[in-house]
Amino acid sequence: MRTLHTTPYRITGETANYMMLEKEVQLPPDIHHPVAQPEYTEGEYVVNLQERMQVAGQILKDRKKKFLGQKKM
């Protein structure tokens, strides 16, 4: 299951974790060499997540149209 959430999708170019959480999960190598994650207050996180969801939805719509357009050729 971890692989599914950490592998970039062909259409979006992003992982499921990044599209939903704006961060990648920490895998065992990351624990030894941590990656800096942004710090938010609870309110900032909610507003940021809503904005990310809108952007993610638009990216998916745009890339889906492009992908389906290429398939018809």
- State yes or no: pLDDT of 41 exceeds 80: yes
Q: Which residue has the higher pLDDT, 56 or 22?
A: 56
pLDDT at 65 over 70: yes
DSSP 23-63: SPPPPHHHHHSPPP-----HHHHHHHHHHHHHHHHHHHHHH
Residue 43 has pLDDT above 70, yes or no: yes
pLDDT band, very low/low/confident/very high, at 72 (cuts 50, 70, 90): low
Q: How far apart are CA 44 and CA 38, in angstroms?
A: 11
Q: How many residues does the chain have?
A: 73
Q: Which of the listed ranges 10-24, 25-39, 49-63 does the model predict with the highest average pLDDT?
A: 49-63
Domain count for the chain, please give it.
Answer: 1
Mean pLDDT of 36-40: 71
C-alpha to C-alpha distance for 70 and 73, rounded to whole angstroms: 6
- For residue 21, give its domain range: 2-71
Residue whose structure tokens are 């990648």: 24
20 vs 49: CA distance, rounded Å = 8
